Structure 1
Amino acid sequence: MDQMSMATGLRNSSDVLFLMLGAVMVFAMHAGFAFLEVGTVRKKNQVNAFVKILTDWSVSTVAYFLIGFPIAYGISFLVPAGDLLGTTQGYDLVRYFFLLCFSACIPAIISGGIAERAKFWPQVLAGAIFASLTYPIFESLIWGKNASFLQGLFKSIGGAEFHDYAGSVVVHSMGGWLALPAVLILGPRMGRYIRGKSHPIPVSNIPFLALGSWILAVGWFGFNVMSAGHLDKISGLVAVNSLLAMVGGVLAALVAGRNDPGFVHNGALAGLIAVCAGSDLMHPLGAFVTGAIASVIFVYGFQIEQERLKIDDVLGVWPLHGIIGSWGGIAAGIFGQPLLGGMGGVSFVSQFLGTIAAILFALANGFVVYGILSKTVGIRLSDEEEFAGADLSIHKIGAYPEDHVR
């Protein structure tokens, strides 16, 4: 009996450590979001990018702890501390930490689309709503306590449940499609389009942009591999599929983007976003193709968004996370099939339906939340504040304070 108890305790401890390490890796990805945005926006908006990401993370932590995680999984932490450990040495606590990192990705993704002209506190409030209500409700329908209803519907129609191993759709597509209404309601930055003509605003710092991409890429292996949840369920296939999809994205962006460093570094992210859903099902070559296609979608999708549709989505989060996240959900239904070397057990019809459901849910929530905020407190800086930059207008200090010393 003692040996059995020791074995159980060791297994529980291993799972807690496993998921905690994954949580830390995904937490580090938020530094990647920050540097990706800081490297893209102009110098006068760099402080704002850093503060937004950290504030959104902090607010999401509290919102998901008190409201979001209980909605998604039916587990409340409003009990004595001794009860929180339970018989699993606090596994539910680190599970909350890990899944919080997914939830907090939503406002971090949106931040890149609305950069340089959004008010600070209205966006913090929007992020809190998404982390506490919007995201957890959909999470509960796919992964959580209410999954039986929607997943049962998908299975009855398509023959299998909707499969999203690490969140191509639940996290990334959701974030990208939530961002689109915000970008549309905000409108373009001053000077971005003049009399119908596009005037691209160059990125401010390629090394920072590249650093953000690298941090995100490294942390993504925690995002995908540790989605197993338990040490005995870890999959080397997930790790290698993530690697091959990332590389496929880089190489495709190198060609399609004609050596453009912004496209190359975002190409890595495009591949990783797309492979999340089917990383446990695909053959590595299928993952490579999935990532390559995702990267091409981003290169041309970003150009169409910016130049033809004239949508001023600063970091291109709608094509990168929204459209490519949706592609990832559908790709799992294609490259997960045994005919293409996949593990099987997945339905293209179910993947398509689940992806469409996420898009509609996100768009509805995005237009409601940002529409109400726009009509009440307002979501855009004044022309004078935008011209001065969010750093000085909101935070009263620039990224390079010595530049203002005389």
Structure 2
Amino acid sequence: MNVKKIGKWTRHRIASYAMAVVVLVLMLSPVLTMAQDPTGAGTGTVKDLGIDTLAATSDTALNKVVSAVNVIAAADGHSKISINIMWTLICGFLVMFMQAGFALVETGFTQKKNVAHTMGMNFLVYALGMFGFWVCGFALMFGGALNAVTLGGAPGVIPHEYVIHMFGKDFGIAGTVGFFLNSKVYDVGVFTLFLFQMVFMDTTATIPTGSMAERWSFKSFLIFGLFISMFVYPLYGNWVWGGGWLSQLGVNFGLGHGHVDFAGSSVVHLVGGVAALAGAIIIGPRIGKYGKNGEVNTIPGHNIPMALLGTFILALGWFGFNPGSTLAGGDLRIAVVAVNTMMAGTAATLSALIFMYIKGQKPDPGMLCNGLLAGLVAITAPCAFVDSMGSVIIGAVAGILVIVVYNFVDRKLKIDDPVGAFAVHGANGAWGCIALGLFADGSYGDGWNGVPGTVKGLFYGDGKQLVAELIGVAVCFVFVFVVMYAFFKLSNKITPIRVKAEDEIAGLDMPEMGVHGYVD
């Protein structure tokens, strides 16, 4: 056999294979460029700067300049997205630490015989909530909006929203992509969004642990933790943040920019507050809270310093909650958001103090804590859309509202809420959204929810924005209360919601947890 011919034939064969590979790569290049990016190496390109790559020319010298500019621009685009992802993750870590704040506040406001139980619920809701959100909560909430541009656009991730067509309009109900964070969403942008939104969800899930503290069966709590993280929070969250129908009230019906909630006054706090109210109604008051003749007995918390410390931790975490919701470290509006957050919390604390003095009361440290938290809850929705004067007014109203609502729920409705969860998160979550519809000054939010122009409230010329906020609040209250009320009724048939009376009297630490919180 002629060796030269074999060598020539082999070279031709290799060349043919190489050509076929090149053609295949060229054919698949659109697919490859649309693949997920689990390393982040391809996330953030020149297009993230709002420009296209410069085309090569016939001039060799000029081509070198063009090539250098393209390399620099690509690196700049990557850096922009990297800053946004890093900012969002750090803020997510801050929000995660709020779990410690909630645990300290709720435990400090309750009795020492239930310390291990109250701490245990606040601890385990983190794991329960995360697991439920990973299984399906994240997909239901954001499966229709997984291409967050500020986090690199999630190249290759194809979102899909389940839509109902009515009145000639599209009503987004739930996402259908991203269950179990599967391989189809294996992308750094998606994973960043998951972490940030998961810790938001956990804030919602932990709120009812305060309203139902000191008599809630731990097994019943476990079922609740999965249910709210997998279904209730994600569905309402989708309607507001996931491209769902409440966010499209502006596009579909001309109601401002739709229901706007920058960081979660309704999505996080109102959902948690209403769930807390439903749970407190179903489970009933603690033994000894209300007398036979209707008198209201105070059951004091065992550790006020613990509650105060927890409140400060929550206030710190709110700097992740609100400024972090830009999802962009390059959005310098974060400075305004942060200052507004501080001012509202401060104004609420002072207004609560003044209100107690006016009512002839002493400055209860517990109510001062709730005042600060109420102001933070209220400013969460409008923090990016108002000026400092607006934030102070919003906070001042919140500080008074939390006291009025707490007393009404506790003394008039006879609903036992040991930490004032509904007054803080429910009432002031609603107020925060309404305040946005009043005080949004039109300096921010151009194109929000697909509507041209900035976000303006009633006092700045757009009364329809207030209508959208009121609709969002009403829908949240009705949806969450009905679903959670039915859930607690049903789950009570699976495993009793309330512990035995003798265990409640003795303390839940040993009967429910098997250990004492304090060893005296």
Deviation at 1:105, TM superposition (A): 1.1
Q: Does 1:108 align with 2:177?
A: no
1:247 is matched with: 346
Map 1:105-254; keep pairs closer than 5 Å: 105-145=203-243, 147=244, 149-153=245-249, 156=253, 158-195=255-292, 196-235=294-333, 236-254=335-353
Secondary structure of 2:307 counterpart: helix
1:392 is matched with: 510
Task: Return the alpha-carbon distance in structure 2 between the equivalents of residues 111 and 151 of structure 1.
Answer: 29
**Could you say which structure has the greater relative contact order, defined with CA pairs below 8 angstroms and 6 or more residues apart?**
1
Deviation at 1:78, TM superposition (A): 4.2
What is the one-letter code of the residue matched to 1:99?
Answer: Q
**Equivalent of 1:305 in 400, 409, 416:** 409
Task: Return the alpha-carbon distance in structure 1 between the equivalents of residues 250 and 488 of structure 2.
Answer: 30
What is the one-letter code of the residue matched to 1:284?
Answer: S
What is the one-letter code of the residue matched to 1:204?
Answer: H
Map Cα deviations across residues 179-229 of structure 1 (whole Å, 9 max, x no partner): 111101100001111202211101111100101110000110110000001
- Long gaps (5+) in structure 1: none
Asked if the contact 1:154–1:354 (Cα under 8 Å) also holds between the matched residues in 2, the reply is no
What is the one-letter code of the residue matched to 2:424?
Answer: L
Task: Return the alpha-carbon distance in structure 2 between the equivalents of residues 234 and 355 of structure 1.
Answer: 29
Task: Return the alpha-carbon distance in structure 1 between the equivalents of residues 103 and 254 of structure 2.
Answer: 41
Map Cα deviations across residues 343-399 of structure 1 (whole Å, 9 max, x no partner): 777711111111111111111111111110123311000011111211111112112
Map Cα deviations across residues 303-328 of structure 1 (whole Å, 9 max, x no partner): 12111211101111111111110011
What is the one-letter code of the residue matched to 2:409?
Answer: E
1:6 is matched with: 75
Task: Return the alpha-carbon distance in structure 2 between the equivalents of residues 273 and 344 of structure 1.
Answer: 25
Asked if the contact 1:168–1:273 (Cα under 8 Å) also holds between the matched residues in 2, the reply is yes
What is the one-letter code of the residue matched to 1:84?
Answer: Y
Q: What is the total number of aligned residue pairs between the two structures?
A: 395
Q: Does 1:69 align with 2:69?
A: no
Deviation at 1:65, TM superposition (A): 1.3
Task: Return the alpha-carbon distance in structure 1 between the equivalents of residues 485 and 441 of structure 2.
Answer: 36
Task: Return the alpha-carbon distance in structure 1 between the equivalents of residues 299 and 129 of structure 2.
Answer: 31
Secondary structure of 1:151 counterpart: coil
Map Cα deviations across residues 55-108 of structure 1 (whole Å, 9 max, x no partner): 111011111112111111114254459x724xxxx1221211111011111221
What is the one-letter code of the residue matched to 2:246?
Answer: L
Between structure 1 and structure 2, the one with the greater Rg is 2
Deviation at 1:234, TM superposition (A): 3.9
Superposition TM-score, scaled by structure 1 size: 0.93
Task: Return the alpha-carbon distance in structure 1 between the equivalents of residues 79 and 282 of structure 2.
Answer: 52
**Equivalent of 1:262 in 366, 369, 383:** 366
- What is the Cα-based RMSD across aligned positions, in Å? 1.9
What is the one-letter code of the residue matched to 1:128?
Answer: L
Task: Return the alpha-carbon distance in structure 2 between the equivalents of residues 341 and 243 of structure 1.
Answer: 24
- Long gaps (5+) in structure 2: 1-69, 144-176, 358-362, 443-455
Task: Return the alpha-carbon distance in structure 1 between the equivalents of residues 278 and 345 of structure 2.
Answer: 28
Q: Does 1:357 align with 2:467?
A: no
Map 1:306-325; keep pairs closer than 5 Å: 306-325=410-429
Identity %: 30
Higher helix share: 1
Q: Does 1:290 align with 2:389?
A: no
Task: Return the alpha-carbon distance in structure 1 between the equivalents of residues 513 and 437 of structure 2.
Answer: 46
Task: Return the alpha-carbon distance in structure 2 between the equivalents of residues 385 and 199 of structure 1.
Answer: 20
Q: Does 1:45 align with 2:149?
A: no
Task: Return the alpha-carbon distance in structure 2 between the equivalents of residues 344 and 220 of structure 1.
Answer: 30
**Equivalent of 1:281 in 363, 374, 385:** 385
Secondary structure of 2:287 counterpart: coil
Deviation at 1:160, TM superposition (A): 3.2
What is the one-letter code of the residue matched to 1:271?
Answer: G
Asked if the contact 1:166–1:276 (Cα under 8 Å) also holds between the matched residues in 2, the reply is yes
Deviation at 1:337, TM superposition (A): 4.4
Asked if the contact 1:257–1:264 (Cα under 8 Å) also holds between the matched residues in 2, the reply is no
